[in-house]
Amino acid sequence: MSGSTIIEGNSFRQDSPEALAGLSPEDRTLVERRKKNLGPSYRLFYRNPVHVVDSSGSYLYGPEGEEFLDAYNNVASIGHAHPAVVEAVREQMSRLSTHSRYLQDGILDFSDQLLATFPEELDQVMFTNSGSEANDLALRVAAACTGGTGVVVTSEAYHGTTAAVSAVSPSAGGEGTGPHVRAVPAPDSFRYRPEDHDGRSLAEWFADNVRAAFTDLASEGYPPSALLVDTIFSSDGVFPDTSVLGPAAEVARELGAVFIADEVQPGFGRVGRDFWGFARHGVVPDIVTLGKPMGNGVPVAAMVARSGVLATFGSDIPYFNTFGGSSVPVAAARAVLTVIQKEGLAEKASVLGDRIAGQLQELRQSAPGVGDVRGTGLFFGVEIVEPGTTTPDSARALDIINTMRDMGVLVSVAGPYNSTLKIRPLLSYTAVEADKLVGALSAAVSATGR
């Protein structure tokens, strides 16, 4: 990182000269206060950081009324400041806010509603405060169920911030992954060629790599425990190919591991009418983890599991989470899920997503630097390459997202080279916002052409 101000793609150290240069005096003061009070771990998005004070629907607003179309954030997925969630939280907070060791109706009504969105095999839910805590819990449940410790993930995976979850997140940086972890390459449908791999399909190759990783782990004293995968490979660069998870999960189970589907990013209708990323692959996981969009900004997350998988952990270990499953987070989650269901947002994500995908494919055909367009529902990866090749053009990708930011449209980058534009239109988009997004992307691609 020496000399560079770029950390993990679109995150900048707040004390970088570049980040400070273009700021207004007011924003510079904020950056300096951040540095003083919050310390060096905190990062900012964009070379020219975004200052926000207000929001509504699909937009964020700056202090001077600057408008930013949100095409990235996945917490306010159903729309910023959604009034149904605001009201549900206000009502619950003014009535009752306590934990799950007293009997309450809300947690049970919501668990009924949530579990009904899953295949019947996934029949129990435990609540946490973050996707990190959900994945942390899932790893403990997997260990208790399998007796194993070996975990296989993908090579740019990000599963969260706790010590245990950072250790299975190759892209988290810092301490690195643990000795009980092996990373396999993500199923990069853009760059994979069967002829380079004995004619094996992408799915066969991915499953073979999972098998080899577990075998290697077992040989070093870490018997199989879990295959942990983001079901749209968000941090790896967004790979929606639906052929890969079925065979990989089968291999994991054959070797004694459980399959954990991390739905923190793809879940809750983001991938379209299938609602959960794993459902697109026709596979039923052993454990599923949920998070980000679940509470529209109120911290709430969960782990859903097969009761048989949960049994050993549950009977041996008296897990308690003070806020997890408490009144207010549950009320927020219930309001969000109800909005998604009543407004048919998952179905709408498929319809509008197909429209956007078509426009992005047109852009790809006209712009040689756009190498690939991938996606499902309202979750896209747009690959920026050296024209006519599969060689990533990370610098241009970063230029594009910063140009779009200056045009008032917020997207980011992902993948091993930070060359994949990560684009997530909110589920609250109409065709107007969709056109605005695609227009800004086209303009930024043109403006950064070389």
Binders of a second copy among residues 155 to 184 (CB under 8 A) are: 161-164, 166, 172-175
What span, in angstroms and rounded, lies between the C-alpha atoms of 192 and 21? 41
Cβ-contact 158, 351 below 8 angstroms: no
Nearest distance, CB of residue 30 and a second copy, angstroms:
5
120 lies in the binding site for a second copy (CB under 8 A):
no
Q: Is the dihedral of CA 141, 145, 149, 150 positive or negative?
A: negative
Choice from 58, 77, 117, 130 touching a second copy (CB under 8 A): 130
93 lies in the binding site for a second copy (CB under 8 A):
yes
80 lies in the binding site for a second copy (CB under 8 A):
yes
Nearest distance, CB of residue 209 and a second copy, angstroms:
26
147 lies in the binding site for a second copy (CB under 8 A):
no
Taking CB under 8 A as the binding criterion, the range among 100-108, 228-236, 244-252, 435-443 that sits at the site for a second copy is 100-108
258 lies in the binding site for a second copy (CB under 8 A):
no
Nearest distance, CB of residue 115 and a second copy, angstroms:
6
The mark string for 363-382 relative to a second copy (x by CB under 8 A, - otherwise) is --------------------
329 lies in the binding site for a second copy (CB under 8 A):
yes
Choice from 57, 185, 223, 314 touching a second copy (CB under 8 A): 314
Taking CB under 8 A as the binding criterion, the range among 192-200, 308-316, 368-376, 431-439 that sits at the site for a second copy is 308-316
Q: Long-range contacts made by residues 372-377, C-beta under 8 angstroms, separation at least 24? A: 372/190, 374/189, 374/190, 374/238, 374/239, 374/240, 375/238, 375/240, 375/423, 376/232, 376/240, 376/271, 376/272, 376/280, 377/269, 377/270, 377/271, 377/272, 377/273, 377/346, 377/349, 377/350, 377/353
By CB under 8 A, how many residues form the interface with a second copy?
Answer: 106
Interacting residues with a second copy between 50 and 69 (CB under 8 A): 50-55, 60
What is the amino acid identity at position 208? D
Q: Is the dihedral of CA 224, 226, 230, 235 positive or negative?
A: negative
Nearest distance, CB of residue 267 and a second copy, angstroms:
14
3 state DSSP class of 304: strand
Residues across the chain:
450
22 lies in the binding site for a second copy (CB under 8 A):
no
The first and second tokens of residue 169, run together, are 């997140």
| Nearest CB to a second copy, comparing residues 256 and 314 | 314
| 119-125-128 Cα angle (round to 5) | 135
- What Rg do the C-alpha atoms of the chain give, in angstroms? 22
